[in-house]
Amino acid sequence: MNVSPSLVLANATIPAGARGASPSSILISSAGHILDIGDISASAEIPTIDLGGRLVTPAFVDMHQHLDKSFTLADAPNPDGTLLGAIEAFRSYSKGLTRERICERAQATLDRCVSMGTGAIRTHANLDHEMGLKSVEAMCELRAANSHRLELQVVAFATSSAARGEIALARQLLERAVAAGADCIGGTPNLAPDPTAYIDMLLDVAERHGLPVDLHVDETLDPQARCFDHLVEQTRRRRMGGRVVGSHVCSLSAVPDDDARRSIDAAVQAGVAVCTLPAANLFLQGRDRRQLVPRGLTRVGDMIDAGVLVATASDNIRDAFVPVGSGDVVEMARWTILAAHLLTDAADRAYRMITDIPATIMGMDGRGSLRVGAKADLVISGCANVEDLIAGGAGTRAVLHNGQLVAGAL
């Protein structure tokens, strides 16, 4: 690694909890790493930019998106506003999709996200019998084309007809997706005729290839939906802790407190992380209720208090699953405070849910944090501190990836 200094960002406000800290300087190497943070003497040989006290944070990590679906709402509407309605709407629409069209829409969304300060995305790429490998191949193509701007992880998302059909055929699709370059194994076990067997198959494929797992689990308010418990138990038995994520886990909010506590404690012991998706859960869940309509999220605060690694993310953007979205994951952090009723240290917790926590869950050593040795993936904004950033948004942003400016201006 080249450790020669190439840039000093002077007079920067560095996060230290929600309130911020005294202005410091950041020394960046020519290899795109942070060499030093603190009182750095000016040198005529190293370019220096005075930030005038602007806030510098690590670039944001949006660990759950569906780039292959974004901005398809006009072509694939969801008249009843339910999860199953959204799945069917996109399934019908996807039959005519080309890899080129998927790439075109996804690239436009990715551009938005980079401009908002996102430095890493994990995207779930539909893998089913209608689409085959089109989405996975498109996302792998996008990953290569944008490697200089952000880190993109591709999840082989075995869903829809793949989940509802024969497990052996879904396994074959997953094996082909791994060969095509997928980084992670995903799926929707709650759609399968035998959800526990489907979870076992997904974990088998992941173990075989040494890949992490990120499953859409219990995306329902039915208290009988308990796939999360099986996922946790299998993670413990297989010693896969630190490599497994349960996304959504909405049904845990519908069970008695004691049952929820047992599930949460088991997840802590097994090392299973959780990603909450407030936009989708607020929009899709509880459509059958007329009084006291539930928020639809999992027990976010309880999980954080117990020690579960919990991230938040955008999920879908302007499609049948979520009809709104700007590509700004800071907005999702703000929604999480409101929808999950976060109170104590709310801004700091929500900030960590889009920075170091998802970076840790995704195994991205050196990203998502502001420390010596970390990647210089940075967002520079006019905010006073982290609380200001989360509460009101970053406004004008300059974004660096590996120490290079990729959006905005310095």
Domain ranges of the chain: 5-57+370-407, 60-361
pLDDT confidence of residue 18: 41
CA gap 93, 74 in Å, rounded: 11
Residue 67's nearest CA partner among 25, 16, 125 is 125
One-letter amino acid at 151 equals E
Range 323-351 average pLDDT: 97
Sign of CA dihedral 134, 170, 296, 343: negative
The two three-digit tokens of residue 267, written as one number: 């997840």
End-to-end CA distance of the chain: 26
**pLDDT per residue over 156-191, tens digit each?**
999 999 999 999 999 999 999 999 999 999 999 999
Q: How many CA atoms lie within 13 A of 144 on its CB side?
A: 9
DSSP class of 391 = H
Q: Provide, rounded to the nearest whole percent, the portion of the chain with pLDDT above 90.
A: 91
Interior/surface letters 237-246, b for 16+ CB within 10 angstroms, e for the rest: ebebbebbbb
**pLDDT per residue over 63-78, tens digit each?**
999 999 999 999 999 9
- 3-state SS class at 247: strand
Task: Tell me: pLDDT of 407 over 80.
Answer: yes
pLDDT confidence of residue 21: 62
**pLDDT per residue over 205-216, tens digit each?**
999 999 999 999
CA gap 303, 305 in Å, rounded: 5
Residue 37's nearest CA partner among 51, 29, 27 is 27
Beta partners for 399? Answer: 379, 407
The two three-digit tokens of residue 215, written as one number: 């499953």
Distances from the Cα of 267 to the Cα of 50, 203, 246, 258, angstroms: 45, 16, 10, 14
Question: Helices 134-145 and 99-115, interaxial angle, to 10°?
Answer: 40
Q: Which residue has the higher pLDDT, 43 or 332?
A: 332
CATH number listed for the domain at residues 60-361 = 3.20.20.140
Task: Tell me: pLDDT of 102 over 60.
Answer: yes
CA gap 62, 214 in Å, rounded: 14
Beta partners for 310? Answer: 274
Return the C-alpha torsion angle 306, 308, 309, 312, nearest 10.
Answer: -90
Q: Which fold has domain 5-57+370-407?
A: Urease, subunit C; domain 1 (2.30.40)
